[in-house]
């Protein structure tokens, strides 16, 4: 069993903790937080051992009746891997503490790439994490782009990709985020950082990205245009992408027209927190004109990196292949969406990753 700690129990950390706890080959040793807020309480109610991340604030937990199992250093002394889910930039500050305890580390996409030995997505860059001490799971948007472009490049060859990302202004719980009643180019100068970030996991892809922020909380939307070396038919593209378990090709009959219905669908299926771990791309939007492919996809920013974190742990600490790890992760979580019961009633048995 791989012993795992999660430091930072917020939007990403709570989901990663649940995903680790669901794996047959991993033990969640505990989660660490600074503040004794509602998330600390819910971690305890879920049965997780809670550790104080800030030694100066442990008394605050006792004061409100939330028992701590110990401090972050005590947790780190007893694990093989720590998944750092602290706010962007805080992970880099924690690196020294992790090094002191000689643990493997998974950082998140808010950190700069040089925080770790390698940047990671399971589909595009599993082997780069092999035997690394620390990896960085790329951001939600970059994860979504890598999952989409890796199979397209393998089959049809990507000459150049141009993507416009309409990003959610904040997560549902981020009451301090915006914009309000506006759509804001962010950054105004092109390209956005997402294209360069993608080349950390797919170095041979030529890509330009432009990004905006919109006053929504549910998902990001990507408008994708890829110039291909070998032009396919739309059906070939849909078939290729439908074979990827972490891509959900939304069929026309589903009547899903946006993030609202996607989230409703996930909640109707009983998904925890209404999470969509898969990229959700509209089959009808797949259009080919000459060598140019166009499509729309949505990415659930709170969820798509979660299976990737689980795979990053195995890439560093086991000799499992990408396909083996992804299959195990997906079966444990229930990743894989289909809208025909005779097609697939649960997670698929095989995936189109290398093995």
Ligand X SMILES: NC(=O)c1ccc[n+]([C@@H]2O[C@H](COP(=O)([O-])OP(=O)(O)OC[C@H]3O[C@@H](n4cnc5c(N)ncnc54)[C@H](OP(=O)(O)O)[C@@H]3O)[C@@H](O)[C@H]2O)c1
- What residues are labeled active site? 140
CB neighbour class for 338 (10 Å; exposed up to 12, middle 13-18, buried from 19): middle
What is the DSSP pairing of strand 118-120 with strand 70-71? unpaired
Cα-based distances in Å from 275 to 114, 159, 219, 340: 30, 33, 11, 20
Cα-based distances in Å from 262 to 265, 308, 352: 5, 21, 24
Query: Does 66 help bind ligand X (rule: CB under 6 A)?
Result: no
Query: Does 53 help bind ligand X (rule: CB under 6 A)?
Result: yes
- Residues 305 to 334 in contact with ligand X, rule: CB under 6 A: 305
Query: Does 11 help bind ligand X (rule: CB under 6 A)?
Result: yes
Q: In what order do the strands lie in the sheet with 81-84?
A: 70-71, 50-52, 26-33, 2-7, 81-84, 104-107, 134-137, 118-120
Piece in contact with ligand X (CB under 6 A), picked from 2-10, 198-206, 246-254, 337-345: 2-10
Q: Which of 23, 108, 121, 279 binds ligand X (CB under 6 A)?
A: 108
CB of 54 to ligand X, least distance (A): 7
Piece in contact with ligand X (CB under 6 A), picked from 84-92, 188-196, 325-333, 343-351: 84-92
Piece in contact with ligand X (CB under 6 A), picked from 65-73, 82-90, 240-248, 321-329: 82-90
Which C-beta is closer to ligand X: that of 1 or that of 88? 88
The C-alpha atoms of residue 108 and residue 313 are separated, in whole angstroms, by: 13
Confirm if 145 and 222 have CB atoms less than 8 A apart.
yes
CB of 177 to ligand X, least distance (A): 10
- Residues 157 to 216 in contact with ligand X, rule: CB under 6 A: 171
How large is the angle between the packed helices 140-156 and 234-242, nearest 10 degrees?
A: 120
Which C-beta is closer to ligand X: that of 171 or that of 324? 171
Q: Pattern 115-144, binding to ligand X, x per CB under 6 A?
A: ------------------------xx----
CB of 159 to ligand X, least distance (A): 29
CB of 58 to ligand X, least distance (A): 12
Which C-beta is closer to ligand X: that of 34 or that of 348? 34
CB of 155 to ligand X, least distance (A): 27
Cα-based distances in Å from 58 to 76, 84, 94, 258: 16, 19, 18, 43
The C-alpha atoms of residue 280 and residue 66 are separated, in whole angstroms, by: 39
The C-alpha atoms of residue 222 and residue 54 are separated, in whole angstroms, by: 38
The C-alpha atoms of residue 300 and residue 295 are separated, in whole angstroms, by: 17
- Residues 225 to 284 in contact with ligand X, rule: CB under 6 A: none
CB of 87 to ligand X, least distance (A): 5
Confirm if 121 and 138 have CB atoms less than 8 A apart.
yes
CB neighbour class for 249 (10 Å; exposed up to 12, middle 13-18, buried from 19): buried
Which C-beta is closer to ligand X: that of 280 or that of 293? 280
Q: Which of 22, 77, 90, 320 binds ligand X (CB under 6 A)?
A: 90
Piece in contact with ligand X (CB under 6 A), picked from 103-111, 187-195, 269-277, 331-339: 103-111
Contacts of 194 (CB under 8 A, 6+ apart): 139, 141, 142, 145, 163, 165, 209, 211
CB of 20 to ligand X, least distance (A): 15
Query: Does 44 help bind ligand X (rule: CB under 6 A)?
Result: no
Query: Does 12 help bind ligand X (rule: CB under 6 A)?
Result: yes
Residues lying near ligand X in the complex (CB under 6 A): 8-13, 33-35, 37, 53, 85-88, 90, 108-111, 139-140, 171, 301-302, 305
């Amino acid at each position: 069993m791989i012993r795992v700690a999660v430091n930072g129990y917020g939007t990403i950390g709570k989901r990663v903790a649940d995903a680790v706890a669901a794996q047959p080959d991993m033990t969640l040793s505990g989660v660490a937080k600074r503040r004794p807020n509602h998330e600390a309480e819910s971690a305890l109610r879920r049965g997780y051992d809670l550790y104080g991340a800030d030694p100066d604030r442990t008394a605050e937990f006792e004061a409100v009746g939330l028992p701590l199992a110990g401090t972050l250093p005590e947790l780190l002394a007893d694990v093989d891997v720590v998944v750092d889910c602290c706010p962007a930039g805080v992970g880099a500050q924690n690196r020294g503490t992790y090094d002191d305890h000689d643990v493997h580390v998974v950082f998140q996409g808010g950190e700069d790439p040089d925080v770790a030995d390698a940047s990671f997505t399971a589909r595009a860059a599993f082997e780069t994490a092999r035997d690394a001490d620390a990896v960085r799971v790329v951001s939600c948007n970059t994860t979504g782009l890598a999952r989409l472009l890796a199979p397209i490049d393998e089959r049809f060859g990507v000459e150049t990709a141009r993507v416009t990302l309409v990003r959610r202004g904040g997560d549902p719980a981020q009451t301090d985020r915006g914009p309000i009643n506006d759509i804001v180019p962010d950054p105004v100068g092109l390209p956005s950082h997402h294209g360069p970030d993608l080349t950390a996991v797919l170095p041979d892809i030529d890509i330009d990205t432009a990004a905006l922020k919109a006053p929504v909380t549910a998902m990001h939307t990507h408008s994708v245009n890829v110039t291909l070396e070998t032009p396919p038919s739309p059906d070939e593209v849909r078939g290729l992408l439908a074979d990827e378990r972490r891509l959900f090709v939304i069929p026309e009959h589903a009547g899903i027209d946006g993030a609202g219905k996607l989230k409703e669908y996930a909640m109707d299926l009983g998904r925890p927190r209404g999470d969509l771990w898969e990229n959700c791309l509209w089959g009808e939007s797949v259009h080919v004109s000459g060598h140019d492919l166009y499509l729309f996809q949505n990415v659930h920013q709170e969820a798509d990196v979660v299976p990737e974190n689980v795979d990053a742990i195995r890439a560093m600490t086991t000799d499992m292949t990408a396909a083996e790890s992804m299959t195990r992760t997906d079966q444990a979580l229930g990743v894989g969406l289909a809208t025909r019961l005779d097609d697939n009633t649960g997670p698929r048995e095989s995936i189109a990753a290398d093995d």
